[in-house]
Amino acid sequence: MAGPVEGEKIDVGFAGRRCIHSRNCVLGDPHVFVPNAPGEWIHPDAASVEKIVAIAESCPSGAITYVRKDGGPQERPPLVNTVRIRENGPLAVHAEIMLDGETFHRATLCRCGASQNKPFCDGSHNKSGFSATGEPALKDTPALDARNGALKVTPTKDGPLKLEGNLEIVTGTGHTVERTTRTFLCRCGHSANKPFCDGSHKKVGFVG
pLDDT, tens digit (0-9, with 9 covering 90-100), for 179-191 = 999 999 999 999 9
Beta bridge partners of 11: 67
Q: How many CA atoms lie within 13 A of 182 on its CB side?
A: 0
Question: Which is it for the CA torsion 55, 57, 58, 62, positive or negative?
Answer: positive
| Structure letter (DSSP) for residue 190 | -
| Structure letter (DSSP) for residue 187 | -
Spans of all domains in the chain: 10-68, 82-204
Distances (CA, A) of 148 to 21, 62, 66, 70, 178: 28, 18, 22, 27, 15
CATH class of the structural domain 10-68: alpha beta
Question: Which is it for the CA torsion 21, 89, 155, 97, positive or negative?
Answer: positive
Question: Which is it for the CA torsion 147, 77, 122, 171, positive or negative?
Answer: positive
CATH superfamily of 82-204: CDGSH iron-sulfur domain, mitoNEET-type (3.40.5.90)
Cα–Cα distance measured from residue 179 to residue 36, given in angstroms and rounded to the nearest whole number:
42
Per-residue pLDDT of the chain (208 residues; tens, 9 = 90+): 568 999 999 999 999 999 999 999 999 999 999 998 888 999 999 999 999 999 999 999 999 999 999 999 999 999 999 999 999 999 999 999 999 999 999 999 999 999 999 999 999 999 999 999 999 999 889 999 999 999 999 999 999 999 999 999 999 999 999 999 999 999 999 999 999 999 999 999 999 9
Give the residue from 107, 102, 71, 69 showing the smallest Cα distance to 185.
107
Cα–Cα distance measured from residue 183 to residue 117, given in angstroms and rounded to the nearest whole number:
22
Q: Are 25 and 18 in contact (CB under 8 A)?
A: no
